[in-house]
Amino acid sequence: MKAYVFPGQGAQFSGMGKDLYDQFPAVKEMMAAANSILGFDITKTMFEGSAEDLKQTQITQPAIFLHSVAMAKALGSDFKPQMVAGHSLGEFSALVANGVLEFEDGLRLVHQRALAMQDACDKTAGTMAAVLGLADHLVEEICENTPGVVAANYNCPGQLVISGALQAVEKACDSLKEAGARRALLLPVGGAFHSPLMEPARTALAAAIEATTFSAPVCPIYQNVTASAVTDPEEIKAHLISQLTAPVKWTQSVQSMVADGATEFIELGPGKVLQGLVKKIASEVGTSAPVF
């Protein structure tokens, strides 16, 4: 069974999507619509912008979303998802791909999400740190004993990201190294994503999500918050609202998809990050990405 997976923030690169734009009229039309909806020329930044340009949250998130959805569009009738999942931001791409959200609505929500997250980052000094080589339960234990820090991204066994207030995360990193972590290093991010510090963003985005039409999906989505198959539009909506302050259960999502019959994971979007994570979670499955 084929599972399509969609990457999140950090996968962007200069020139992203240009090959699809040049080859597929439907993609060119979609990207022109995106420029109009956003009110600025995002495709110009995607195709010609520097790495620094693309690092801005309000650019990064819609750019990755657009690239991912464009790949699904380029597959045409060959795109027949049986299950989907997205890593954080990628969940919005997955919801367009499986028919829950219209492209235009998905893009608007992603843009609002990016602006709301940036605003939350500006209000509180938060950060994230990658923890390598330590069992999840030990990382969770140290987070519980360090006020202001939570486990944020369960990326794969032995790779967990923590999130929270700057000084609290720095303190947790020291404790994690003492506990035997191979590495515990601060990430170059603008804020404490997937932590309670994102509550202002969650509140802002909730209103936009509630006002958006969510349709029945063509296949289940394995959402970050639950790591299990979801098909009810109202349930999908609720989980999407919770996502900003809840951990990304990527390891658990992939394990659930494999348990439910996934044998091949196809990554749609820039980069190959998810293919690498999937292989570390379930070495027996196939991973790939379309070549255009």
Strand, coil or helix: what is 5?
strand
Residues 62 and 140 in one domain: no
**Residue in 39, 41, 56, 190 with CA at minimum distance from that of residue 108:** 39
Residues 161 and 215 in one domain: no
Where does 124-228 have alpha helices with state H? 136-144, 166-178, 199-210
Residues 7 and 84 in one domain: yes
Cα–Cα distance measured from residue 80 to residue 57, given in angstroms and rounded to the nearest whole number: 31
Report the amino acid identity of residue 218: V
Report the amino acid identity of residue 33: A
Active-site position among 67, 68, 88, 239 = 88
Residues 129 and 19 in one domain: no
**Residue in 63, 68, 70, 67 with CA at minimum distance from that of residue 111:** 63
**Residue 191: inside a domain:** no
Residues 39 and 163 in one domain: no
Residue span of the structural domain in which 145 resides? 125-186
pTM of the predicted protein model: 0.96
Cα–Cα distance measured from residue 213 to residue 210, given in angstroms and rounded to the nearest whole number: 8
> By the 8 A CB rule, do 247 and 271 touch?
no
Q: Is 88 assigned a catalytic role?
A: yes
Residues 218 and 231 in one domain: yes
Burial state string for 187-197 with b = 16 or more CB within 10 A and e = fewer than 16? eebbbbbbbbb
Over residues 253-275, the pLDDT tens digits come to: 999 999 999 999 999 999 999 99
CATH number of the domain residue 181 falls in: 3.30.70.250
pLDDT band at 124 (very low <50, low <70, confident <90, very high): confident
Residues 118 and 132 in one domain: no
Residues 156 and 232 in one domain: no
Over residues 160-200, the pLDDT tens digits come to: 999 999 999 999 999 999 999 999 999 988 789 999 999 99
CATH number of the domain residue 9 falls in: 3.40.366.10
More confident residue, 164 or 292: 164
pLDDT of res. 11: 86
Residues 13 and 33 in one domain: yes
Residues 98 and 233 in one domain: yes
Tokens of residue 7, six digits: 């990457």
pLDDT of res. 56: 85
The distance from CA 117 to its chain's CA centroid, rounded to whole angstroms, is: 13
Q: For residue 114, what are the CA distances in angstroms to 66, 67, 279?
A: 14, 16, 29
Active-site position among 67, 87, 111, 194 = 194
Q: Is 228 assigned a catalytic role?
A: no
Q: What is the mean pLDDT of the chain?
A: 96
Which of 186, 215, 230 represents a domain boundary (last residue)? Answer: 186
Inform me whether the pLDDT recorded for 125 exceeds 90: no
Number of structural domains (the chain) is: 2
